[in-house]
Amino acid sequence: MIKIGIIGLGHWGPNYLRIFNSLSKVEVSWCCDLVDENLNKVKYLPNVRLTKDYKEILSDASVNVVIVATPANVHHRIIKDCLNHGKDVLAEKPLTLIPEESIELVQLAHKNNRILMVGHTFIYNPGIRKIREFIDKGELGNMYYLNATRTHLGLIREDVNAIWDLAPHDISIFNYLLGTTPVMVSAIGACHLKKDREDIAFINLLYPNNVIANIHVSWEDSNKERTIRVVGSKARVVFNDLDNLEKIKLYQKGISVSEDYNDFGEFQLRLRDGDIISPRVETKEPLKEQCLHFIDCVINRKQPLTDGNNGMEVVKAMYAIERSLKNNGAVVYVDKISERGKQ
């Protein structure tokens, strides 16, 4: 039996509690939060011990695994303590807020032979998996560009801005779909709702092979949108997470360079018509799939799909985006972000 402690019962922690309580071979034995109201919501659970001090969980030798669902600004300290106490860790995204701290945690997990996984939940979404399947089969052809829109009216977080709240989802998705990480970024944003905390941003990223990506995030748009568009030389695919009927659409219409022209003066671009396909996408809860994967990795000592290194690469890109925001959209090269989190 895997015994789990959950640290943080605010916005996302109760979802982990619900999922892990439903799984076999797993027992949630501890819950921790600093707020009495949050603890009172789970005090009905008969076999779960409650605490305001997460170190009580770490001192319990029977606890194998810790879920860290606290605000991101305390991730580093708590995850480091968990790893040093021999616990496997599933941490909410982002792993940390600066690259130096993420690098330290990755190295510590390796040193202590512990599982460190980051909750980039969209990687476990069947729709995103289907897009990756299209790419791997070559159905999109050469990759041209990607676009993501992630907007809504609230929730206005107190610990991070809208960029740190929303953009890690899309960067993790782009990295997963392309199998690589961004080379450089540029971003502009604005603080309309609270001083010194961006609530809207437009982010540009350049990936290897001249693949361009763009992300729009907002806390102040009355139209809630969760879409990903991937455009290739053969087709484009659209993922709409809010469409439960047709979550994925593959458009086989496109434009390509003609290979059968005789001289430069002939028309070199060819318009191509094609079908619009809405493939069947399995109905599975991404968070549950993520938790099942984590437990499998803990039991079989396997490297998670969204491991510490994966989380670290997202943090590096996010840190570069933050530097660009503070410099009015200046280009920042991600590989120049040093281990101290400075360019």
User: Would you say residue 94 lies in a domain?
Assistant: yes
Helix, strand, or coil here: 188? strand
Q: Which domain holds residue 84?
A: 2-121+287-306
Q: Tell me how crowded residue 86 is: count the other CB atoms within 10 A of its CB.
A: 13
133 and 250 part of one domain: yes
82 and 192 part of one domain: no
How confident is the model at residue 266, as a pLDDT?
A: 46
How confident is the model at residue 342, as a pLDDT?
A: 43
User: Would you say residue 311 lies in a domain?
Assistant: no
90 and 127 part of one domain: no
DSSP state letter for 25: T
247 and 177 part of one domain: yes
328 and 232 part of one domain: yes
From CA 133, how far away is CA 130, in angstroms rounded? 5
User: Would you say residue 339 lies in a domain?
Assistant: no
134 and 278 part of one domain: yes
How confident is the model at residue 272, as a pLDDT?
A: 62
How confident is the model at residue 83, as a pLDDT?
A: 98
User: Would you say residue 213 lies in a domain?
Assistant: yes
222 and 185 part of one domain: yes
- Half-sphere exposure of 258 toward its Cβ, with a 13 Å CA cutoff? 13
DSSP state letter for 246: -
Amino acid identity, position 141: G
Into how many domains does the chain fold? 2
CATH of the domain at 135: 3.30.360.10
- Tell me the H-state helices in the chain: 13-21, 36-40, 55-58, 75-84, 99-111, 126-136, 162-178, 286-300, 308-326
- CA 164 vs CA 98, 151, 176, 180, 198: distances in Å: 11, 13, 18, 20, 9
85 and 155 part of one domain: no
From CA 253, how far away is CA 232, in angstroms rounded? 10
From CA 147, how far away is CA 143, in angstroms rounded? 12
Amino acid identity, position 323: R
How confident is the model at residue 16, as a pLDDT?
A: 97
292 and 232 part of one domain: no
How confident is the model at residue 37, as a pLDDT?
A: 95
Which residues, given as ranges, of the chain have pLDDT below 70? 254-273, 337-343
152 and 257 part of one domain: yes
Contact of 19 with 43, CB cutoff 8 Å? no
User: Would you say residue 16 lies in a domain?
Assistant: yes
* Residues 206-264: tens digit of each pLDDT: 999 999 999 999 999 999 999 999 999 999 999 999 998 899 999 987 666 655 555 55
How confident is the model at residue 256, as a pLDDT?
A: 62
CATH of the domain at 12: 3.40.50.720
Contact of 180 with 153, CB cutoff 8 Å? no
127 and 117 part of one domain: no
Contact of 242 with 223, CB cutoff 8 Å? no
44 and 78 part of one domain: yes
